Structure 1
Amino acid sequence: MKNSWKDSIYLQREELARILREPLAQLAGHCAPAWGDGGALDAILAAHFDGIPHCSFLYCVGIDGVQICNNVGQDGIEPGYLGRDRSQRPYMKEAVPVWGFLLSDAYIGLNRHRPSLTALQIVSRDSQSLGYLGADFDLRNLPVTSALYEEPGYWRQVKGDPAIRGTVFQQCRVESPMDGNLEQALSILEELLTQRGVFQCQIHFSSSQATIWTVDDPFRYRILDADALSDPDICLLYPPRPYPADAAIPPGDINRILGTMQALRLTDPTFYLRMASINIFNGLVSVTFSCDGSHYMSHVEFLMRDTSFWF
């Protein structure tokens, strides 16, 4: 089973903590004898800055969260931070574990307004906690140590605009230009998906358009309006391509998926399909209805459900 995005974040943070914990513990040991002497702490942090991987800034704060030395960065000591109150920053409000090391949740930094996180290491002397060694990290500088996150294939439902949901019984589907020519439009999209290198397609039934992505030019999308979706000549613009061997959706299922979408669009005048998408590589189908609710699921699960399930 694929990891959820939260599981993937946990694995990434676990690896970062493994990389950072020991160097920060060693540096905290160097800081303890000089605690209370801001100048000496500045010098210690500057001397050991390169030993903390991927770090943006180092500093020391008391138990009360007030900084007792300056910031130290790649360019050396940065004056003006002595006495800065960090007690209200997100990382200072998290409980430091009993082993004395905390890798904070990510937050938006005050100065650069970029995603950041902070590691805190307790500084102790004679079994007494003196304060914390802080290390700030810009997420842009941190290595990605986990595998690239993949969207899980289980069913997900996302509720939409409450204003739309609240008035769903006061509306009725109005036939769009695509509706009047839906069978031909879906046949064109089937040709593009199975024979012409299109791997992702978003179909906007109500506004009579489709957005497509091709394997030949995957970073740019193309829009097919109602005219294009009513003219089979549009297929001539996209050269024939073999159906990808690593696609998760078999080519024979594309017709069935589009046919099910057609039924969901036309069966009920109140609850009807507004938008849908297909991605042949991750095998997912999404559908968004007139109540503005969206569903994301594997194509296998989608094909298992007939119209009676949805309505």
Structure 2
Amino acid sequence: MSEALQTAIARQRMLLHARLSDALSRLETACREAWGDRSALEQWLTSAMESLPYCKYLYLLDHEARQITANISRDGLLPEHFGRDRAARPYMADAIAGTPFTLSSAYLSRNNRRPSLTAVQRLTREDGTLLGYLGADFDLRDLPLTRELCRQSDQWLQLKGDPAIRGALFYQQRVDSLMDGRIDEILDLIAELIRSHGVFHGKLHFSSSRATLWLLDDPYHFRVLDYEDLSDPAICLAYPQRAYPVEAAIPADRVKAVFNQFRELRYMDENIYLRSGSLNIMNGLVALNFSCDGSHYMRWDEFLDKRMDFWLGSAAPPCSESEKPKPAD
């Protein structure tokens, strides 16, 4: 998981921990006073749901983590959960070990297969001995999160692909596709669609001679252009003229340079070559997929700074060192 995602998740958990810990601790005294009376406990938990508008289930467990109430839901009691042994559930481990309040890692719920969390409050007598546990289950979509959008890191990312493809890499060679036969014209056309016709994300599939495009005017639907589409400059008439977006992360006069570099990578070697490449002008990221099924993601300026010896050399090849052919004895 990327550092940005880890940071976003950690921040949400910190906020939830503080809010849920405070909410459950306020229920502790009432639970202690009614302990041993199932009906009274279930009545109290039902009323307590009003103070937890985002809670899915509330329930109580004894000191051995066996359920002593029904599950309390907004639709009423679920008595089939009475007597359930939760001691082995992962979210109980820290509470059983003595942590006063615990918030579980996210997991998929057993019944609905929804991303969920469970909070557990230890309940103790006045002398400090363990009485039991108050449990609360939450559906992630209902929790009061800040819902801030996590931004994708623009740091260079390299990913390995299918081991079967990598293992057979040096038993195959590049075969010219239809797109390869008119590659300069097609690259010019895609660059023009990006600079003047509202395309903000363009991906070229060199081996299968097609392209996929995303437009500013209709970002939720992508377009697929085949070789016949890409070899006809009149395709520009199908897309309205649009000014190059001022918020784009790459200058308009550098778009063509990125596609020219795609051409170089396509022909750089008979075994290791570019299968597909894309540019998103709004985040400025270039994505590459090579014949070894290795993938790279990097900023456009970092991409343009790389020379061919970078891709073919040992510094950071499309495939790992272990995938290169070994020298003959």
For 1:90-239, list aligned pairs within 5 A: 90-94=90-94, 100-125=100-125, 126-239=127-240
Offset of residue 64 of structure 1: 3.0
Greater shift, 178-187 or 21-30, is seen at 21-30
Letter in 2 for 1:279: N
Cα distance in structure 2, aligned partners of 1:18 and 1:54: 15
SS at 1:137 equivalent: strand
What amino acid sits opposite 2:67 in the alignment? Q
Q: Which whole-Å deviations, capped at 9, do the CAs of 1:111-146 have from their partners, x for residues lacking one?
A: 111111111111111212222211111112123315
In structure 2, the residue matched to 1:68 is 68
Matched, 1:48 2:48: yes
Matched residue, 1:270: 271
Structure 1 residue aligned with 2:319: none
The runs of 5 or more residues in structure 1 that have no matched partner are none
Deviation digits for residues 73-117 of structure 1, max 9, x if unmatched?
Answer: 112322221111223333224567865111111111011111111
Secondary structure of 2:23 counterpart: helix
Secondary structure in structure 2 of the residue aligned to 1:192: helix
Per-residue CA shift, 1:40-92, capped at 9, x if unaligned? 22112112111124101101123433211110011232222111122333322
CA contact (8 A) 2:59 2:72 kept: yes
Q: Which runs of 5+ in 2 are unaligned?
A: 313-329
Alpha-carbon spacing, 1:37–1:250, altered in 2? closer, same or farther (3 Å)? same
Shift in alpha-carbon separation, 1:250–1:97, aligned structure 2, 3 A: farther
Contact 1:260 1:306 in 2 (8 A): no
Cα distance in 2, alignment partners of residues 63 and 265 from structure 1: 66
* 3-state DSSP of counterpart to 1:190: helix
What are the superposed Cα offsets for residues 159-195 of structure 1, whole Å, 9 maximum, x if unpaired?
A: 1111111111111111111111111111110001111
Aligned alpha-carbon RMSD (Å): 1.7
Matched with 2:38 is 38
Contact 1:273–1:290 at 8 Å: present in 2 too? yes
Change (3 A) 1:249 1:233: same
Q: Shift of the alpha carbon at 1:25? A: 0.7
* Aligned partner of residue 29 in structure 1, secondary structure: helix
Q: 1:41 to 1:245 in 2, by over 3 A?
A: same
Q: 1:121 to 1:215 in 2, by over 3 A?
A: same
Residue pair 1:155, 1:295 contacting (<8 A) in 2 also: yes
* Equivalent residue letter for 1:46: T
Distance 1:177 1:153 in 2: 33
For residues 40 and 140 of structure 2, what CA distance do their matches in structure 1 show? 29
Preserved CA contact (<8 Å) 1:11 1:146: no
Q: Is the 8 A contact 1:272 1:290 kept in 2?
A: yes
Distance 1:83 1:287, change over 3 A: same
1:55–1:137 CA contact under 8 A, matched in 2: yes
CA, structure 1 residues 84+98, in 2 after alignment: closer, same or farther (shift >3 Å)?
closer
Contact 2:60 2:132 in 1 (8 A): yes
Normalised TM-score (structure 1): 0.95
Separation in structure 1 between the aligned mates of residue 192 and residue 157 of structure 2, nearest angstrom:
28
- Alpha carbons of 1:261 and 1:121: their partners in 2 closer, same or farther (altered >3 Å)? same
CA contact (8 A) 2:102 2:119 kept: yes
CA shift in 2, pair 1:147/1:5, >3 Å: same
CA contact (8 A) 1:121 1:133 kept: yes
1:283 corresponds in structure 2 to 284
Query: Structure 1 96/181 Cα, relative in aligned 2: closer, same or farther at 3 Å?
Result: farther
TM-score, normalised with respect to structure 2: 0.90
Give the conservation status (yes or no) of the 8 Å contact 1:20–1:53.
no
Distance 2:203 2:96 in 1: 46
Shift of 1:222: 0.3
Letter of the 1:42 partner, please give it. Answer: E
